[in-house]
Amino acid sequence: MKRKPVDRPPEKMPWGRAIPYTSPTGKETMLYNIGMVADAIGRTSQTIRKWEISGVIPPTPFKQGNKRLYSREQVDCLVRNVEKYHVTMGLRISKAFSKKVYEEFKKINDEFFKEGK
């Protein structure tokens, strides 16, 4: 039996679409919920949360309430590195993958939050 969609105005349901965002430094991007990120790399939301909690990927600075949001740049970084390091289901994540993602997320976060960029 299919679930009936919840009848709410679109502004109350941002989790299935991109949310525009402008950082304090003026950089513009789109933010995505954890489910969309998981879909982009062929994983579950639970996996993304576990990776963040265990330090495989850095925590996202983008939040709305207690919901994790990820910039388009962060999603692209994860997709690119999952493919590059052949991260597959059930296998241990390489330190090289984690290190590269941390480095790229730091650069991305600096663009959004460091003054003078």
Residue 9 — very low, low, confident or very high, per pLDDT cuts 50/70/90? very low
Provide the CATH number for the domain formed by 17-113 in this structure. 1.10.1660.10
Query: So what's the pLDDT on residue 101?
Result: 94
Amino acid at 66: N
Domain spans, the chain? 17-113
CB 52 within 8 A of CB 62: no
The pLDDT tens digits of the residues spanning 18-75 come to 899 999 999 999 999 999 999 999 899 999 999 999 998 999 999 988 899 999 999 9
Q: How many CB atoms lie within 10 A of CB 55?
A: 10
CB 111 within 8 A of CB 27: yes
- In whole angstroms, give the CA distance from residue 99 to residue 55: 10
